[in-house]
């Protein structure tokens, strides 16, 4: 492939994106994030892909945005380039995304993981927003997504002191959904991605939209959105197949339409 800082492969219905800048602990420079967004969007357009699994290395999911790339930027340069705005496009991907986090997920690395729909952590994972130590603050959603994930008390604590959260605290606090042994992370995370990918694609995409609506709207509007989309699911072949399979006591074979 034409990517320099990531490795991209397809396994069954799962699209795999692996951050691959080992010498910089997967620090996210512009090139790397452009590649991540491009690869995720390409998978999103492929009807044969039902889940996207994003991983780093054993030592680091990603140690942050690239400090060396940023350090000499002036305000006007950052503002005019709208620095980090492009990264948001990762959250516009409709296919479910799974982050497999081992080792450091700091700053932009933590923020990228939080942009994923499902977070699975190795017991070695360390989450943090240490930007305060650099004289700045989170810049790609950390102050918003961490606060929504773990609440104000822990978000303020982490963002103002720069302290890290280990995997156990991250699970306790609702930042990640599962913690697994480090040497099992790749297999377990793939299993989760594969499970998601084999379900009805229309249902998965709609379910992701519905959950995300919970962050953007009132309860009443969110419940209404869910109900409308639920009704619409009855226009799909997969709904007929899923419910017939249940009645016939067999495994559903979704056609993903």
Interface with ligand HXC (CB under 6 A)? 24-25, 27, 63-68, 104, 106-108, 130-131, 134, 136, 138-139
115: left (phi over 0), alpha (psi -120 to 50) or beta: alpha
Give the gyration radius of the chain's Cα atoms: 19
Nearer CB in complex with ligand HXC: 15/107: 107
H/E element holding 17?
Answer: strand 14-19
Q: How far is the CB of 115 from ligand HXC (least distance, A)?
A: 13
The answer to whether 110 and 91 are in contact (CB under 8 A) is no
Nearer CB in complex with ligand HXC: 50/138: 138
Q: How far is the CB of 74 from ligand HXC (least distance, A)?
A: 14
Q: Is 15 a catalytic residue?
A: no
CA atoms within 13 A on the CB side of 185: 27
Nearer CB in complex with ligand HXC: 44/69: 69
Taking each helix axis from N to C terminus, what angle separates 201-213 and 237-247, rounded to the nearest 10 degrees?
Answer: 100
List 108, 139, 141, 142, catalytic entry: 108
Ranges of H-type helices in 82-183: 108-114, 142-150, 152-161, 167-172
- In whole angstroms, what is the distance from residue 135 CA to residue 77 CA? 18
Q: How far is the CB of 53 from ligand HXC (least distance, A)?
A: 22
What residues pair up with 179 in beta bridges, in sequence order? 121
Q: Is 111 a catalytic residue?
A: yes
Q: How far is the CB of 144 from ligand HXC (least distance, A)?
A: 13
The answer to whether 19 and 62 are in contact (CB under 8 A) is yes
Which residue is closest to ligand HXC by CB? 107
Nearer CB in complex with ligand HXC: 49/113: 113
Q: Is 65 a catalytic residue?
A: yes
DSSP secondary structure letter of residue 28: B
List 24, 65, 100, 155, catalytic entry: 65
List 111, 142, 167, 206, catalytic entry: 111
Nearer CB in complex with ligand HXC: 119/207: 119
Distances in Å between the Cα of 237 and the Cα atoms of 140, 162, 203 are 39, 50, 11
List 27, 131, 141, 171, catalytic entry: 131
Q: Is 194 a catalytic residue?
A: no
- In whole angstroms, what is the distance from residue 4 CA to residue 20 CA? 8
Q: How far is the CB of 180 from ligand HXC (least distance, A)?
A: 22
| Nearest of 64, 173, 55 to residue 128 by alpha carbon | 64
Q: Which residues are catalytic?
A: 65, 108, 111, 131
């Amino acid at each position: 492939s034409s990517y320099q800082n990531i490795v991209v492969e397809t396994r069954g219905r799962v699209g795999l994106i692996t951050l691959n800048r080992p010498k910089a602990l997967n620090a996210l420079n512009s090139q790397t994030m452009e590649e991540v967004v491009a690869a995720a969007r390409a998978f999103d357009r492929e009807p044969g892909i039902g889940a996207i699994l994003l991983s780093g290395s054993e030592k680091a999911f990603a140690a942050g945005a690239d400090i060396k790339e940023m350090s000499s930027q002036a305000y006007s340069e950052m503002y005019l380039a709208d620095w980090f705005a492009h990264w948001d496009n990762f959250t516009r991907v409709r296919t479910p995304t799974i982050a497999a986090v081992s080792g450091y997920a700091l700053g932009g690395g933590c923020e990228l993981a939080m942009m994923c729909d499902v977070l699975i952590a190795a017991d070695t994972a360390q989450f943090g927003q240490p930007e305060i130590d650099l004289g700045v603050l989170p810049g790609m959603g950390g102050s918003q997504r961490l606060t929504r994930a773990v609440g104000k008390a822990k978000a303020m604590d982490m963002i103002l002191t720069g302290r890290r959260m280990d995997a156990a605290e991250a699970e306790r606090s609702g930042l990640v959904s599962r913690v697994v042994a480090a040497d099992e992370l790749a297999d377990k995370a793939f299993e989760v991605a594969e499970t998601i990918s084999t379900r009805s694609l229309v249902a998965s995409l709609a379910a992701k939209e519905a959950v995300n609506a919970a962050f953007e709207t009132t309860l009443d509007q969110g419940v209404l959105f869910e109900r409308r989309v639920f009704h619409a699911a009855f226009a799909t072949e997969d709904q007929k197949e899923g419910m017939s399979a249940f009645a016939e006591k067999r495994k559903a074979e979704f056609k993903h339409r």
